[in-house]
Chain A
């Protein structure tokens, strides 16, 4: 559809939030609590943070929960009964006030969960998701969205993108049919726009590297000593993967008691040695530098090659979360300049 532009003021914004909540949506919105800003389900409108740079965690949890029960099982006289979970009953969720990096990440998740086998559990959640994005008027030194084809006002992935204007009102770009339905149902909260320009309020994020050059270098960089040199600090804690909006590596495990229980899918990380360990003791990615290489290669070489997207939206969370201050941006800048044999 052709995007429409409207204006919504701060008071009306809270009313829109309450209206969507009252309509039965589970609202996922950022709240400053315990010294950090993170998304929570159904906070009060007054609790929502609008002045943070970045939340600690991403919003992938809405479609790819930390733990997804895949099915349940019960022992019975016939042996075992499987009890299917009705995923058609998952709730409608509205991601409220997501930055453009987080909104853009959903298309990468869509691709991973549908590139071959269709993961209908993921899809059932995704189909019931709406994204109200919020352009960034602030950024920090870890942000690099402009180096991965995005920017502080990108519309990708949002149903409605809000941009806080200098006069205290918000420009609302209504981008999809779903966004239009939300705007139409709450038409009285919006006023007409009058050619307001969002570009002048957006945060300035300098482009730091050319991602296609990184991808090109990585194609011949598997054996490069870079990986070892740049990952000696890595303690393999997996924090980077857990805060990443695109990392989707998962594990499948059973939890049960006396033959009754559930099979679940839970977040995992390529940073762990156990991730690829064979029962024989052999491990194709035996040392941490090989696991770090996998992480960067997957995002900037394999995914561009196989799935036609970059597995990174430049949100900077991994750099902020790293307990030993490994900085992905620094590494990508170095990788762009890497000398590789062709």
Chain B
């Protein structure tokens, strides 16, 4: 049959599994069909529908950057039905993947600017893709600052990569944990992400801020950025509304007339200001 069926996923094999934090793991996925893999192109910010046959389908970002060819990665926390089914899989098992869907971070427009990444908890994965994408093209950007916070030291994801970023002289990494989440050995900051951003006070001039995190963190970080002088159109975030299809038909991810799956997931604060608070 020659009919193209937009609901049929690519079959991916789990190449490796990394335990990132309690109940959080990363799958490195390889296309079972090499040709499909070679034709798969995506850009930072886009997402995919991942599935376990019989376990259901769910939406996550693509956590690896397009600059690293040959594999895709997704990071998820075991929480609901689909992530529970995913958590039972082992290396060599099969995952379905549809995508890529959604819009992108306009990283080419950011060339020549400073980048300020602000992430909280399990929201580092959607940002990791664009972070690595810009680090892999490091010469095109000025200062790169990453502020990353989690509830506890144990909840910080991508611990090896945090170490790598910390050691690089061309990246300014600030990690923080919520008060009470620190360990005796912890050398990072202690405090909520908005507080730490206020304390670090990155300069707004010629800087793009990218903010991903739980709604409460985003809510309190925006005013801090505004106070530091960031213009709304220079503040980017991603929305995470529930989705099924990923391509603008199933009807659940819309915020007013905007579909997060089509018009997002990447939005600027100036765009959000013109959208109803339905996210």
Contact = CB atoms under 8 A, between A and B. Distances in A.
Interface of A: 70-71, 73, 75, 78-80, 82, 84-88, 112-113, 115-121, 124, 222-223, 248-254, 256, 259, 261, 263, 265, 268, 270, 275-280, 282, 284-285, 290, 294, 297-298, 301-302, 305-306
Which of B51, B94, B214, B253: most chain A Cβ within 10 A? B94
Interface string B160-179: 00000000000000000000
Contacts of B7: 70-71, 121, 252, 263, 265
Contacts of A112: 249
Contacts of B5: 70-71, 84-85, 87, 120-121
Contact of B254 (A279, A282, A302): A302
A88 B2 CA distance: 9
Nearest to B248: A116
Contact of B53 (A118, A259, A282): A259
Contact of A117 (B11, B93, B242, B247): B247
A285 B248 contact: no
Given A261-B53, A278-B242, A284-B278, A252 B250 contact: yes
Nearest to B257: A302
Contacts of A118: 4, 6
A275 B6 contact: no
A250 B96 CA distance: 20
A80 B247 contact: no
A85 B4 CA distance: 11
A258 B262 CA distance: 35
Contact of B8 (A82, A223, A265): A82
B53 A80 contact: yes
A275 B252 contact: yes
Chain A contact residues: over half helix, strand or loop, or mixed?
Answer: mixed
A142 to B, nearest CB: 24
A282 B215 contact: yes
A130 to B, nearest CB: 21
A73 B102 CA distance: 27
Interface in B87-140: 92-94, 96
A115 B94 contact: no
Interface in B156-201: none
A256 B257 contact: no
Given A86-B1, A250-B251, A298-B251, A256 B54 contact: yes
B22 interface: no
29 contacts: A70-B5, A70-B7, A80-B94, A84-B5, A85-B5, A86-B3, A87-B3, A87-B5, A113-B249, A119-B6, A119-B249, A223-B276, A249-B251, A250-B244, A250-B249, A252-B244, A252-B245, A252-B250, A254-B51, A254-B57, A256-B54, A268-B250, A268-B251, A270-B251, A276-B253, A279-B83, A284-B278, A297-B256, A298-B251
Interface of B: 1-9, 11, 13, 32, 51, 53-57, 79-80, 83, 92-94, 96, 214-215, 240-242, 244-245, 247-257, 262, 276, 278-279
Nearest to A241: B251
Nearest to B77: A279
Nearest to B245: A252
Contacts of B2: 88
A179 to B, nearest CB: 26
B3 A280 contact: no
Contacts of B8: 70-71, 82, 84
Nearest to B277: A284
B174 to A, nearest CB: 25
B244 A277 contact: no
- Interface pairs A-B: 10 shortest CB-CB: A249-B251, A256-B54, A79-B94, A117-B247, A70-B7, A279-B80, A73-B53, A302-B257, A80-B94, A279-B79
Given A112-B249, A117-B247, A254 B6 contact: no
B6 A306 contact: no
Nearest to B80: A279
A298 B13 CA distance: 39
Contacts of A261: 53-54
Contacts of A259: 53-54
B262 A116 contact: yes
Contacts of A270: 251-252
Contacts of A73: 53-54
Contacts of A222: 256, 276
Given A254-B56, A254-B57, A263-B7, 6 more contacts: A112-B249, A119-B249, A251-B250, A265-B7, A275-B242, A302-B254
Which of A73, A84, A252, A305: most chain B Cβ within 10 A? A252
Contacts of A124: 3
Nearest to A73: B53
A124 B5 CA distance: 11
A164 B253 CA distance: 45
B1 A84 contact: yes
A253 B56 contact: yes
B247 A116 contact: yes
Nearest to B13: A79
Contacts of B279: 284
Contacts of A302: 254, 256-257
A276 B241 contact: yes
A88 B57 contact: no
Which of B7, B53, B79: most chain A Cβ within 10 A? B53
B23 to A, nearest CB: 12
Contacts of A285: 278
